Structures are given as C-alpha cells and as structure tokens.
Amino acid sequence: MTVRSSFSVLRRHDSEARCDQPVLGRTHAGSVLLLGLVLLLLGETESQGVAVVSNSKELYAALNVSDVASIHLTQDIALNSQDWAAPLRIGRNVTVGAHPVLAVIQVYVTLDCASLARRISLAPGVSLTFRFLELNNYVTDVGFTMLLLLPSPGAVVVYDNVIQRRRAGFEGKRNLADLQALPRLPGRSSAVITSNSSNNSSSQQRAFYLPRFCP
C-alpha cells in the first residue's frame, strides 16, 4: 500500500494538553453555526455519489455504500468501536473530507480514529483520500502504518491538506540503535539474550519492541 501526502502538516502529539498553543482544526461553534446557516439557505441535500455525515455511525455506513465516492464531514467525529464492529471492504476510490463549505473558509474537521485497528481493507488499485481533516490517533506510535487499515497491497492512501497529529521522536531504527549503545549493568541483564550466550554483561543483546495493542 502506498501513502501519498499533499501539503500535509505534521504536528507533535503531547501526552498532556497544552493551553498555550491554539489548535487548528477544532470546529468552533461559530463555524458550525455558519455551516448550518449556509446549508439551510442553499437547501443542500445529498446528491448522487455524495454522503453528508456528522457522526461515527454515519461515516461507517457511507463507506459501506458502493455508490458513494465523496463523504463530507460537517463536524468533528470520534470513531466508536461499536459502530465499526465488522471490517469494511472498499472496492472503489473514495474521498473523506471536511464539508466544502468548511474547506472554503479553511476550517479543518477533526477525525479521531480512536486507535481502532484493522477495520478497512482496500482493493488493489483503490485510493482512499483524506482532505481538509485533522487526523488523531490513527497511526502506530512508531512508523507510518495507519491502524484503521488491513493489509491492502496495491492500494493508495492520500493525505491532501491534512493535519497529522503524531508523537514526536526518532524513527524506529534510530531508537533501537540508541538502546543497543547504552552501557549495560553488571550481572544479569533484562535484555533479550541469544540462545548461544550466557546471562552476563558481555553477552550479545538483541533489542526489539512490541506494537501497542489496540481495540
């Protein structure tokens, strides 16, 4: 599976909320009111191939409809594991993004994937595009793997004008190299020891990490 990014912004994800920095992408009450007013004036309804959604359940249902190619989010959404119990198989190109009215005024909609894993598989040649969104809790702590997706060879994920919130830090190989370079305590070691070596400070050590378990 290929990942493509267009004008995406990577943002640091801190374990504690920071009040001194404004967060772009949070749909404020004024924007929601503006969207409601515009939709009321224009009398917008879902057209063929387009679905307008406002919650986790509606997003799942829209992705499951083969005729829907564009999904417009009208507000911030946090995925709920109960709504996404059964994995989806997507066989057509589909775009998930902020409602065009919000995109025009450059208001990003937050899509919190809640660290849900292995809920979507893409057929070969299919592209899944995220547009004008702020993505939270969507990748592994180390690496670029999108948790929500099952292995999808030949498919493409596109991030177009997307804010990607991720943990800041070194990539995996650099972390392992730093761990292996640390001085070892004398005597028994907690590192993984090869089968042909004894448990002492001169034994060869093999560093590894386990991925975080996700719901």
Residues 139 and 147 sit within 8 Å (Cβ to Cβ): yes
Residues 32 and 73 sit within 8 Å (Cβ to Cβ): no
User: What are the extents of the domains in the chain?
Assistant: 2-166, 170-215
Whole-model pTM: value is 0.62
Report in angstroms the alpha-carbon separations of 172 from 12, 49, 114, 140, 211: 17, 41, 22, 11, 11
Confidence band of 182 (pLDDT split at 50, 70, 90) = confident
- Residue 181 buriedness (CB in 10 A; 0-12 / 13-18 / 19+): exposed
pLDDT tens-place string over residues 69-79:
999 999 999 99
Q: Is the pLDDT of residue 42 over 50?
A: no
The 8-class DSSP code of residue 169 comes to S
pLDDT tens-place string over residues 79-97:
999 999 999 999 999 999 9
Report in angstroms the alpha-carbon separations of 27 from 32, 38, 66, 115: 7, 16, 29, 21
Whole-angstrom distance, CA of residue 191 vs CA of residue 151: 31
